[in-house]
C-alpha cells in the first residue's frame, strides 16, 4: 500500500491504549445485519493464527456525526481498525488523517487502520473487484469495454483499479446523470489518467447506456432490494454481468442480465472475500489464502456463481 498525505482535514483521533487479548476490529454500516465480514475475518484469523476479534456494528444515520462518534468510541476502547460499508465510505474518507493513493483517488474509504501517525484510510474494494473478475472468474480486463452502473461511493472506489487493469473503454451510467458526469469529470480532471496513459471515463445517464463486454452493478439497488431500470438490449453480447452485492438468492440485476442474454453473471461474494483479504493484510501484514474462505461462504449461501 502506498500512503499519500492527501488530506489535512484529519478527523481521526488518537487511538486508545490497546487492552490485553486479541486486537479488535469492526465493520460498520447501515444496514449491517447482512454482513458476512465477521465470518470471513474469523476464518482468516484461524488460517493465519493471528489473534484478532471482528464484530459488526449498526451505526445510525442520524444525527449527523454518528459515524465519527462511533469510530471515536471504538478507537478509544482500543480498537485497531474498521471496515466501513454503505453509506459511510465518504465519511470514512473524511475521518482518516492520511490516505493511501487509491483511497485518495476514490475519495472513499472502506478500511481504517490505526497507525503511529494517525488513522489511515484505504480502499480495498477496487482491488477486490479486479481480483475476483480476473483471478476467480478468469475475465481478463485488458482491452475490454466496460460499463459501470452507479456513481456513489461504491462506484468511486472501483474506477481507478479498473482503468489500471487495462480496460479499453470505461463508461459510468447513473440514474441521476449529473452524478455520473461529475464522477467522470473528477477522474478525467485528475492528472493521473494522463500521466499513466489511462483512457478517459465517460459519464452518461442509464437510459443512454450501451452494451459492453463487462457490466458491473455498483449501485445500491440490490442492497436496497430492487431492480434497475435499464434499456433493453444492454446485456446482448455481454461477456459478464457482475453485481457487487450478494445475498441468499441471485440479485434482481443478475436475473435481469441472464434474461437479457449475458453469457455469465456473478454476485459480489468473491469481491467481498478479496477486499477483506486486502484489509486483513493492511491491518496484520499477513495475506490470507482466500479460496477456501470463498468456498465456505459460497456453500453456505447456495447461490450458484453464474446462475445459468
Ligand atoms: P454507495 O456508497 O453504495 O455507492 P450511494 O453513495 O448512496 O451508496 O450511491 C448509491 C448509488 O446507487 C447511486 O449511484 C444511486 O443513483 P442516484 O445517484 O441516481 O441516486 C444508485 N441507485 C440506488 N438505487 C437505485 C435504483 N433503484 N435504480 C438506479 N440507481 C440506483
> 305 CB less than 6 Å from ligand 1?
no
> 270 CB less than 6 Å from ligand 1?
no
Distance 164 CA to ligand 1 centre (A): 24
Q: Which residue of the set 24, 41, 89, 99 is catalytic?
A: 89
Do you know the residue count of the chain?
308
Q: Are 267 and 132 in contact (CB under 8 A)?
A: no
* Per-residue pLDDT reduced to its tens digit, 78-133: 999 999 998 899 999 999 999 998 899 889 999 999 999 999 999 999 999 999 99
* Per-residue pLDDT reduced to its tens digit, 176-207: 999 999 999 999 998 889 899 999 999 999 88
User: pLDDT band at 221, cuts 50/70/90?
Assistant: confident
User: pLDDT band at 306, cuts 50/70/90?
Assistant: low
* Rounded alpha-carbon distances, angstroms, from residue 259 to 91, 154, 206, 208, 303: 37, 25, 18, 20, 17
**Is 210 noted as a catalytic residue in this protein?**
no
pLDDT at 5 over 60: no
Distance 10 CA to ligand 1 centre (A): 27
Amino acid at each position: 500500500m502506498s500512503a499519500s498525505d492527501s488530506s489535512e482535514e484529519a478527523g481521526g483521533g488518537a487511538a486508545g491504549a490497546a487492552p490485553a487479548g486479541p486486537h479488535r476490529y469492526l465493520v460498520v454500516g447501515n444496514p449491517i445485519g447482512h454482513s458476512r465480514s465477521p465470518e470471513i475475518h474469523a476464518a482468516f484469523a484461524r488460517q493465519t493464527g493471528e489473534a484478532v476479534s471482528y464484530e459488526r456494528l449498526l451505526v445510525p444515520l442520524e444525527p449527523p456525526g454518528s459515524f465519527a462518534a462511533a469510530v471515536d468510541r471504538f478507537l478509544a476502547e482500543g480498537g485497531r481498525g474498521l471496515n466501513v460499508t454503505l453509506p459511510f465510505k465518504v465519511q470514512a474518507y473524511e475521518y482518516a488523517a492520511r490516505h493511501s493513493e487509491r483511497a485518495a483517488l476514490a475519495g472513499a474509504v472502506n478500511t481504517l487502520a490505526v497507525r503511529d501517525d494517525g488513522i489511515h484510510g484505504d480502499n480495498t474494494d477496487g482491488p477486490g473487484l479486479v481480483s475476483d473478475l480476473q483471478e476467480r472468474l478468469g475475465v481478463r480486463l485488458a482491452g475490454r469495454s466496460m460499463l459501470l452502473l452507479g456513481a456513489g461511493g461504491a462506484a468511486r472506489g472501483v474506477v481507478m483499479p479498473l482503468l489500471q487493469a487495462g480496460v479499453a473503454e470505461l463508461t459510468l451510467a447513473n440514474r441521476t446523470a449529473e452524478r455520473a458526469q461529475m464522477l467522470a469529470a473528477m477522474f478525467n480532471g485528475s492528472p493521473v489518467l494522463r500521466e499513466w496513459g489511462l483512457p478517459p471515463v465517460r459519464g452518461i445517464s442509464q437510459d443512454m447506456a450501451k452494451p459492453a463486454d463487462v457490466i458491473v452493478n455498483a449501485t445500491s439497488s440490490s442492497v436496497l432490494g430492487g431492480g434497475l431500470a435499464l434499456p433493453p438490449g444492454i446485456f446482448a453480447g455481454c461477456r459478464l454481468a457482475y453485481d457487487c452485492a450478494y445475498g441468499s438468492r441471485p440479485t434482481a440485476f443478475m436475473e435481469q442480465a441472464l434474461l437479457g442474454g449475458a453469457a455469465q453473471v456473478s454476485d459480489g461474494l468473491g469481491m467481498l472475500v478479496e477486499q477483506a483479504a486486502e484489509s486483513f493484510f493492511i491491518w496484520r501484514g499477513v495475506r490470507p489464502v482466500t479460496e477456501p474462505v470463498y468456498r465456505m461462504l459460497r456453500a453456505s449461501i447456495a447461490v450458484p456463481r453464474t446462475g445459468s
